Amino acid sequence: MKTGQKIKIAQLGIGYWGPNLLRNLMKNERCEVACVVDLSPERRAYVSKTYPGITVADNAEAIFERSDIDAVVISTPAATHFDLGRRALLQGKHILVEKPMATSVAEVEELGGIAAQKKLTAMVGHTFIYENAVRFIKQAIEEGVLGQVRYMYSQRLNLGRIRSDVDALWNFAPHDVSIMQYLLGDPNPVSVARSGMAYIQKGIEDVTFLNITYPNKIIANIHVSWLDPQRARKLVIVGSDAMAVYDDTQTDKIQIHDKGIDRFHVPGEGMAYDGSTRMTHFENRTGKIHTPEIVSAEPLAQEIDHFLDCVEGKTECLTGPLHAARVLRILSWVAPKVPTQNLERKTPVPQA
Cite the residue boundaries of each domain of the chain with CATH code 3.30.360.10.
129-298+341-348
Instruction: Determine the 3-state secondary structure of 75 from DSSP.
Output: coil
* pLDDT tens-digit readout, 18-27: 999 999 999 9
pLDDT of residue 65: 87
Amino acid at 236: V
Task: Determine contact, residues 162/207, Cβ cutoff 8 Å.
Answer: no
Q: How far apart are CA 231 and CA 160, in angstroms?
A: 10
What's the confidence (pLDDT) of residue 166? Answer: 83
pLDDT band at 260; cut points 50, 70, 90: confident
Alpha-carbon separation of residue 322 from 44, 103, 220, 266 (angstroms): 34, 14, 21, 49
For residue 61, the tally of other CB atoms under 10 A from its CB is 9
Side-chain half-sphere CA neighbours of 262 within 13 A: 11
Residue 240 has pLDDT above 90, yes or no: yes
3-state SS, residue 223: strand
Residue 103 has pLDDT above 50, yes or no: yes
* Homologous superfamily of 7-125: NAD(P)-binding Rossmann-like Domain (3.40.50.720)
Contact 33, 49 (CB under 8 A): no
Domain boundaries for CATH 3.40.50.720 within the chain: 7-125
Is pLDDT larger for residue 176 or for residue 2? 176
Listing DSSP states for 101-130 in one string gives S-SSHHHHHHHHHHHHHHT--EEEE-GGGG
Rg over alpha carbons for the chain, rounded to the nearest Å, is: 23
pLDDT range class, residue 284, cuts 50, 70, 90? confident
Is 337 a residue whose pLDDT tops 60?
Answer: no
Q: Just give the CATH number of 129-298+341-348.
A: 3.30.360.10
Burial of 19 (0-12, 13-18, 19+ CB in 10 A): middle
Most confident of 63-67, 316-320, 333-337: 316-320
**Cα–Cα dist 227/51, whole Å:** 37
Averaged pLDDT of the chain: 89
pLDDT tens-digit series, residues 165-223: 889 999 899 999 999 999 999 999 999 999 999 999 999 999 999 999 999 999 999 99
| CA–CA distance, 114 with 186 (Å, rounded to integer) | 22
